[in-house]
Structure 1
Amino acid sequence: MENKSKHNQGVVVPKLLLFSIHLMEFISPYWGMRLAAFLFSKPFKYKRPEREVSVYKEAKKFSYQINKSYRYVACYQWEGSGPKILFVHGWSSRATNFYKIISRFRELNYNVYAYDALAHGESEGLTTNIPEMIDTLEEMMTYWGPIEILVGYSGGAFSSAYVAAHNHSIKKLVLISPFDKVITVFEKYFKMISLGAKASQLMLDYFTKKTGHQVEELSASQFSKVIKAKTLVIHDKNDREVDVCEGININNSISNSNLLLTEGLGHRRILRDSSVIQSLEFFVLND
């Protein structure tokens, strides 16, 4: 199951940051937790690669203020006369990561929408979290709506599943490399940075107080049970960042869902694979 190809590398935390967390934790578990929580909530930003530039330049761009956070998100629209389709990117990503899929639906004359989540891409903010990403998606759905086709990737797939469970105007839902339980994301992070038990619990409590959500309650396979939209779940068997079993669990919880398992694409290259895009297109275009 483990694929060490360059297309499927896991997240690596710089040693200096690990040392800083452990030093702070040794001095005070609370302050060690606060540093760990800050890094957990701060997406990495990367320079836009050349392959995404043309799609970015062709988009109609504007900023929209999110009511709950009072911060602005960068919004993108590629106008067409066809149905509306909205793309929701993942953590440490940006809207144009969907460049190849967006290009295809532009060829099909769809009305394509996307945005950079808060603290991502060209949007405002230094940190964000899953509940805030859900709130942002809900506001953008209202602003651009009605949206009948929703495509989410990774953390954006989690947010999309949550919104689809509460917004039954969505007719088609595509979840690419979705994670199931937020607690699993926390536990992987704690293990990755070797955070102690006391600081780990403090961080879970801090998240609950900050967001108003119990971490254990945020489970896609639970709230997806009420999704009415026809759904396609796409996940790679060799995904080292989000285990394929999480996508399978979500697929099994949705009454009208199909599962597409790929192999050798990992967590990232899956968005650029031609066969995946063809399957996604077939799903969207056909009843």
Structure 2
Amino acid sequence: MENKSKHNQGVVVPKLLLFSIHLMEFISPYWGMRLAAFFFSKPFRYKRPEREVSIYKEAKKFSYKINKSSKRVACYRWEGSGPKILFVHGWSSRATNFYKIIARFRELNYDVYAYDALAHGASEGLTTNIPEMIDTLEEMMTHWGPVEILVGYSGGAFSSAYVAAHKHSIKKLVLISPFDKVITVFEKYFNMISLGAKASQLMLDYFTKKTGHQVEELSASQFSKAIKAKTLVIHDKNDREVDVGEGININNSISNSNLLLTEGLGHRRILRDSSVIQSLEFFVLND
């Protein structure tokens, strides 16, 4: 039997937390839901690994106050005279997770931007959610615009696809390991913590009310049909966190999109693979 105390990202859910959620759920499904919702919305902040330190030190660092939340995000720029490229990281990550790709585009003299999402890295906030991450990206795009190339990874790829489809005109879009449906993310979490059906539905209703978005309707393969930018979708066949089928669905929904499937890199090493970076570079540099 699968150990449900393990997250598919390799994070072990503390037994005390599981016990607390189940106890609260037994007493009151609503309060059990609220506790589960809090931890669902709270990213992990990991120590920056040594491999990212050099690119971090080379960045110009500043902060920007997001109007909608009144919180400040940590921003980074590696200045160059070339086109403007913006990197958007995933959940429980940080801007410098792109360190190897950023280093390559620095060599190419691109004007490189990135930021830590709210509740991530050095930015303010304890909790966040996908709609807030989308709002943050939209505001940063407006503040830094015009951005010619947008590169998003995992949850950052979902946000990037949404922004490219709805509000901002960009020339090229790169989506690395993107997930398709937000409801799938919720369902994985419900299964991981063995949350009951009533509390699970309460949590979906809670987030719909809190964010103003119907969780079941947030699907990248649906809204990506409106993307006009030339797009590259990169996904690994052995990704155990976001199934490769989700990336394929998104690619198929975009009229001008190319699909790059890798093998043996999983969800994380794909950002550091030299052949992936070469393919990304070729896509960005060529019409």
Is the alpha carbon distance of 1:2 and 1:274 closer, same or farther for their aligned partners in structure 2, counting shifts above 3 Å? farther
Question: How large is the RMSD of aligned CA atoms in angstroms?
Answer: 2.6
Shift of 1:90: 0.2
TM-score normalised per structure 1: 0.96
Could you tell me how far apart the structure 2 residues matched to 1:2 and 1:13 are? Answer: 14
Shift of 1:2: 13
Alpha-carbon contact 2:233-2:257 (below 8 Å) kept: yes
| Structure 1 segments unaligned to the other structure (5+ residues) | none
Q: Percent of pairs identical after alignment? A: 94
Could you tell me how far apart the structure 2 residues matched to 1:279 and 1:3 are? Answer: 37
Alpha-carbon contact 1:71-1:118 (below 8 Å) kept: yes
Could you tell me how far apart the structure 2 residues matched to 1:279 and 1:12 are? Answer: 34
Shift of 1:167: 3.3
Is the alpha carbon distance of 1:2 and 1:266 closer, same or farther for their aligned partners in structure 2, counting shifts above 3 Å? farther
Shift of 1:27: 1.2
Could you tell me how far apart the structure 1 residues matched to 2:140 and 2:237 are? Answer: 32
Is the alpha carbon distance of 1:223 and 1:160 closer, same or farther for their aligned partners in structure 2, counting shifts above 3 Å? same
Is the alpha carbon distance of 1:252 and 1:3 closer, same or farther for their aligned partners in structure 2, counting shifts above 3 Å? farther
Q: Aligned residues, how many? A: 287
Is the alpha carbon distance of 1:172 and 1:77 closer, same or farther for their aligned partners in structure 2, counting shifts above 3 Å? same
Q: What secondary structure, in the 3-state scheme, does the structure 1 residue paired with 2:11 have? A: coil
Could you tell me how far apart the structure 2 residues matched to 1:21 and 1:101 are? Answer: 40
Alpha-carbon contact 1:7-1:265 (below 8 Å) kept: no
Could you tell me how far apart the structure 2 residues matched to 1:89 and 1:256 are? Answer: 23
Compare relative contact order (CA 8 Å, sep 6+) and give the higher one, 1 or 2. 1
Could you tell me how far apart the structure 1 residues matched to 2:7 and 2:196 are? Answer: 31
Is the alpha carbon distance of 1:4 and 1:276 closer, same or farther for their aligned partners in structure 2, counting shifts above 3 Å? farther
Alpha-carbon contact 1:170-1:229 (below 8 Å) kept: yes
Is the alpha carbon distance of 1:5 and 1:200 closer, same or farther for their aligned partners in structure 2, counting shifts above 3 Å? closer
Is the alpha carbon distance of 1:219 and 1:26 closer, same or farther for their aligned partners in structure 2, counting shifts above 3 Å? same
Shift of 1:93: 0.3
**Relative to structure 2, which stretch is displaced further, 168-177 or 122-131?**
168-177
Could you tell me how far apart the structure 2 residues matched to 1:4 and 1:18 are? Answer: 10
Shift of 1:8: 8.7
Shift of 1:12: 3.0
Could you tell me how far apart the structure 2 residues matched to 1:81 and 1:173 are? Answer: 20
Per-residue displacement from partner, 1:98-151 (whole Å, max 9, x unpaired)?
000000000000000000000000000000000000000000000100001000
Alpha-carbon contact 1:177-1:234 (below 8 Å) kept: yes
Could you tell me how far apart the structure 2 residues matched to 1:9 and 1:194 are? Answer: 17
Shift of 1:26: 1.0
Q: What secondary structure, in the 3-state scheme, does the structure 1 residue paired with 2:123 have? A: coil
| Structure 2 segments unaligned to the other structure (5+ residues) | none
Alpha-carbon contact 2:235-2:260 (below 8 Å) kept: yes
Could you tell me how far apart the structure 1 residues matched to 2:27 and 2:63 are? Answer: 42
Shift of 1:11: 3.8
Is the alpha carbon distance of 1:17 and 1:269 closer, same or farther for their aligned partners in structure 2, counting shifts above 3 Å? same
Could you tell me how far apart the structure 2 residues matched to 1:141 and 1:286 are? Answer: 23
Shift of 1:19: 1.3
Alpha-carbon contact 1:3-1:240 (below 8 Å) kept: no
Per-residue displacement from partner, 1:221-274 (whole Å, max 9, x unpaired)?
000001000000000111111000000000000000000011111111110010
Matches within 5 A, 1:57-76: 57-76=57-76
